[in-house]
Amino acid sequence: MHQLTIRELAKGLRDKSFSSVELTQHYLDRIQTLDSAYNSYITVTADQALAQAKAADERIAQGDDSVLCGVPMAHKDIFCTDGIKTSCGSKMLDNFVPPYNATVVENFNRLGAVSLGKTNMDEFAMGSTNESSFYGAVKNPWDTSRVPGGSSGGSAAAVAALLTPAATATDTGGSIRQPASLCGVTGLKPTYGRVSRWGMIAFASSLDQGGPIARNAEDCAIMMQAMASFDSKDSTSMDHPIEDYSALLDKPLAGLRIGVPKEYFGEGLNPQVAEKIQAAIKQFEAMGATIKDITLPHNSLAVPAYYVIAPAECSANLSRFDGVRYGHRCENPADLMDLYKRSRSEGFGEEVKRRILVGTYALSAGYYDAYYSKAQKVRRLIKQDFMNAFEEVDVIMGPTATSTAYELGSLNKDPVSMYLEDIYTTATNLAGLPGISIPCGFVDGLPVGLQVTANYWREGQLLNLAHQYQQETDHHRQTAPNVA
């Protein structure tokens, strides 16, 4: 059952090949048996999942035709779940049980999807390796001595290990696409404003966006259909028409104009990865697309700008974790200042503290213009680069990451080199554009991901071209060793 895609599971549930309760139990058993090797879940909600499955079986018996009804999935532990611990990968929220659901969670509940649990993640989504989680590092299913990427490493690893058919995730600077790339799965980062941020614990509000990770584009389309919604509770949610993503999947690619920025193939890119990317682009050409060399002249400024704006926003977003109302509080505080200092020092991990400090510095009197203001100017230039490119091409292709998955512990000692790994992904967030990572081959047995960026609101186009590519290739059908 765990080899089946969402589309196939929906069919099986209606054919009565299996019930949702059986299917859910199967996945719960797999998690129980296998996840100790990957650590992809923080919380498994077996009782709730089985109750949801039972309810879904009843709905299906009454003719419910929603594709996700009765289908198991998992939520990144950044999405608030009513009555279920939502830790955001942090000791700070190890005791936090929200009394409300994120809009994304509501959307899935309404459709009758079954939530298996909450997936592991970098603490407060800060990290590219999933090693900053309070609950320990997630291991890459393709090689458990390697990282799964981050921050949605738990979601990507759980999908790659067939411990869930699909999972929600979030992407602030690459946190969906990069782990999707490193784990050999498909991950979509939607246009900023497409998916509600209500109940999604904020890292950097102007960059955060929820999206799906699944085994292929077709399943991502189903997940995305559930996630996309206008939400009056989120002022940055946009009331823009929502496409029928599944209906767009079969559109032929003839005439698709692909831009390939020279900046994506410079120093730092693993040559073997580069080869796989070039081969994938060739494949698109063979499918009827035209290829054009383009330039994104300010791309090299994306990482520095990102690492000012994201920490600046996070320095304020994380001020609410003060030990006063919820979350970690130190023992026997001597006074108010002691309460603040110790609660926050004990509750936050090293990477989170580093970013709060960087952001606080960037916003300080005397430094604001040099850092925050300048970074915002760069952000406009980066957006303009993309707008110029989209005058000539429909989508932009390149690598998602500079290499395949790194060894655990190899990057987290040196934050700057870890930040530089985000060179291909952060610009998309700064511009608010949609992007996808698609498996496009293997180097030494480790997956490589192709990143495609499209214009605003073109999630349908990204899923369409990914699906068409997946009709011609089988990289996405490969499964990690020891998971079948």
Candidates 11-19, 66-74, 140-148, 321-329; binding stretch for another protein (CB under 8 A): 321-329
Q: Which is nearer to another protein, 3 or 373 (CB)?
A: 373
Q: Contacting another protein (CB under 8 A), which of 33, 145, 232, 345?
A: 232
- Number of Cβ within 10 Å of residue 158's Cβ equals 35
Binding to another protein by residue 265, rule CB under 8 A?
A: no
Closest listed residue to residue 325, CA positions, set 168, 123, 92, 12: 92
Continuous H helices in 196-326? 217-227, 245-248, 271-286, 302-317
**For the window 58-97, what string marks contact with another protein as x by the rule CB under 8 A?**
---------------------xx-----x-x----x--x-
Closest listed residue to residue 135, CA positions, set 184, 76, 90: 90
Binding to another protein by residue 240, rule CB under 8 A?
A: no
Q: Which residues pair with 75 in a beta bridge?
A: 118
Q: Which is nearer to another protein, 29 or 338 (CB)?
A: 338
Catalytic positions: 76, 151, 175
Binding to another protein by residue 442, rule CB under 8 A?
A: no
Q: Yes or no: say if 343 and 322 are a contact pair by the CB < 8 Å rule.
A: yes
Sequence-distant (6+) residues with CB within 8 A of 62 are: none
Binding to another protein by residue 230, rule CB under 8 A?
A: no
Candidates 26-34, 144-152, 233-241, 389-397; binding stretch for another protein (CB under 8 A): 233-241
Q: Phi first, then psi: give them for residue 186, nearest 5 degrees.
A: -100, 130
Structure-block tokens of residue 469: 């590519």
Candidates 202-210, 292-300, 386-394, 409-417; binding stretch for another protein (CB under 8 A): 202-210
Least distance (Å) from another protein to the CB of residue 122? 16
Task: Look up residue 308 and give its amino acid.
Answer: V
Binding to another protein by residue 206, rule CB under 8 A?
A: yes
CA torsion angle for 72, 77, 80, 86 (degrees, to 10)? Answer: 120
Q: Yes or no: say if 157 and 133 are a contact pair by the CB < 8 Å rule.
A: no
Q: Phi first, then psi: give them for residue 212, nearest 5 degrees.
A: -95, 155
Edge-to-edge strands of the sheet including 186-189?
41-44, 114-119, 72-76, 166-171, 209-214, 186-189, 435-443, 446-454, 395-399, 257-261, 290-294
Candidates 99-107, 155-163, 434-442, 460-468; binding stretch for another protein (CB under 8 A): 99-107
What is the rounded CA–CA span in Å between residue 1 and residue 408?
31
What is the rounded CA–CA span in Å between residue 80 and residue 429?
22
Least distance (Å) from another protein to the CB of residue 137? 23
Q: Which residues in the 273-312 window bind another protein by CB under 8 A?
A: 312
Q: Contacting another protein (CB under 8 A), which of 61, 247, 336, 387?
A: 336
Residue count, binding to another protein (CB under 8 A): 43
Binding to another protein by residue 235, rule CB under 8 A?
A: yes
Q: Contacting another protein (CB under 8 A), which of 340, 403, 410, 415?
A: 340
Q: Contacting another protein (CB under 8 A), which of 18, 100, 230, 442?
A: 100
Structure-block tokens of residue 478: 């490969």
Q: 403 preceded by cis ω (within 30°)? A: no
Q: Which is nearer to another protein, 325 or 413 (CB)?
A: 325
Q: Contacting another protein (CB under 8 A), which of 326, 346, 354, 410?
A: 326
Candidates 109-117, 133-141, 229-237, 380-388; binding stretch for another protein (CB under 8 A): 229-237
Closest listed residue to residue 51, CA positions, set 87, 92, 20: 20
Binding to another protein by residue 322, rule CB under 8 A?
A: yes
Q: Contacting another protein (CB under 8 A), which of 49, 102, 227, 454?
A: 102
Contact residues: another protein, CB under 8 A: 79-80, 86, 88, 93, 96, 98-100, 102, 197-202, 204-206, 232-236, 312-313, 315-316, 319-322, 324-326, 336, 340, 360, 363-365, 368, 372
